[in-house]
């Protein structure tokens, strides 16, 4: 009877774990976002060189960055964090005209680094996005980009204040406004140079987490489990 009860408990626990896992993977969680500190400044700059050397760049511009999940920088706070953003991406080919004035432009070798102005325990990497690809869609003075692992893109996140080891799906979306001049192509079919103001969001499934000392927690778990097993063994011996 005792063993049967243990089996039933184990089965119930497995079902509960499966249910929790399914719920946890039900949707993406937006864990961070940013906006330029001065939205009136077109800090993002695309430079047309009539080749795949054309680039989309930002160098250490002031931004307001905020977390949407518990993190190692400011805990559960969603307050803005003063930071700087460095962004770079290269075109892979000429843009595609989609009709109605809309364009699609692919970028590769995407890199974004958000650095906190004020370190916490000497650490400043709020978020780094690397080895990513994205496509920009736009018309006139506005455009947007997106990149998502589930669609085949490569998106890697790292941070001093979040752990992404359990994430299966990762994505981000950027929105650009006030493009000057509006989107258009040059005589050779390449996207013309422009500047823009940008904002963005970052998401994953499941959400990233923060552990104040992951190594210590791991060691603690490894130490407690044998002790629990020994206690159960002694209890069974006492009942005999």
Per-residue pLDDT of the chain (240 residues; tens, 9 = 90+): 444 443 433 334 333 333 343 343 458 999 999 999 998 889 999 999 988 889 999 999 999 999 999 999 999 999 999 999 999 999 989 999 999 999 999 999 999 999 999 999 999 999 999 878 889 999 999 999 999 998 888 999 999 999 999 999 999 999 999 999 999 999 999 999 999 999 999 999 999 999 876 433 333 333 444 444 444 444 445 555
Is residue 218 helix, strand or coil?
Answer: helix
Does the predicted model carry a pTM greater than 0.85?
no
Is the backbone peptide bond immediately before 206 cis, with ω within 30 degrees of 0?
A: yes
Contact 217, 177 (CB under 8 A): no
Contact 77, 71 (CB under 8 A): no
Polymer length of the chain: 240
| DSSP secondary structure letter of residue 1 | -
Contact 22, 50 (CB under 8 A): no
Characterise 130 by phi-psi region: left (phi > 0), alpha (psi -120 to 50), beta (else).
Answer: beta
> Which among 83, 81, 86, 28 has a CA at the least distance from the CA of 59?
86
**From CA 71, how far away is CA 21, in angstroms rounded?**
22
> Which among 201, 208, 207, 219 has a CA at the least distance from the CA of 161?
208
Query: Residue 76's pLDDT is what?
Result: 94
Domain limits, the chain = 28-209
């Amino acid at each position: 009877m005792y063993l049967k009860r243990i089996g039933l408990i184990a089965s119930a626990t497995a079902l509960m774990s499966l249910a929790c896992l399914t719920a946890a993977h039900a949707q993406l969680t937006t864990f961070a976002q940013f906006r330029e500190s001065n939205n009136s400044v077109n800090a993002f700059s695309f430079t047309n060189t009539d080749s795949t050397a054309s680039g989309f760049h930002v160098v250490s511009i002031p931004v307001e960055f905020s977390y949407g999940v518990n993190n190692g920088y400011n805990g559960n706070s969603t307050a803005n964090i003063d930071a700087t953003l460095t962004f770079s991406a290269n075109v892979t080919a000429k843009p595609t005209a989609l009709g109605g004035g809309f364009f699609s432009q692919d970028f590769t070798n995407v890199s974004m680094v958000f650095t906190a102005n004020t370190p916490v325990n000497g650490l400043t990497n709020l978020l780094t996005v690397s080895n990513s690809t994205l496509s920009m869609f736009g018309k006139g003075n506005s455009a947007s980009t997106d990149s998502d692992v589930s669609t085949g893109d490569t998106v890697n996140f790292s941070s001093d204040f979040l752990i992404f080891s359990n994430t299966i799906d990762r994505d981000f979306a950027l929105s650009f406004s006030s493009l000057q001049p509006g989107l258009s192509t040059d005589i050779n079919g390449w996207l013309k140079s422009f500047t823009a103001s940008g904002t963005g969001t970052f998401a994953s499934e499941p959400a990233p987490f923060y552990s104040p000392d992951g190594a210590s927690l791991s060691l603690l778990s490894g130490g407690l489990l044998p002790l629990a097993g020994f206690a159960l063994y002694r209890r069974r011996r006492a009942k005999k």
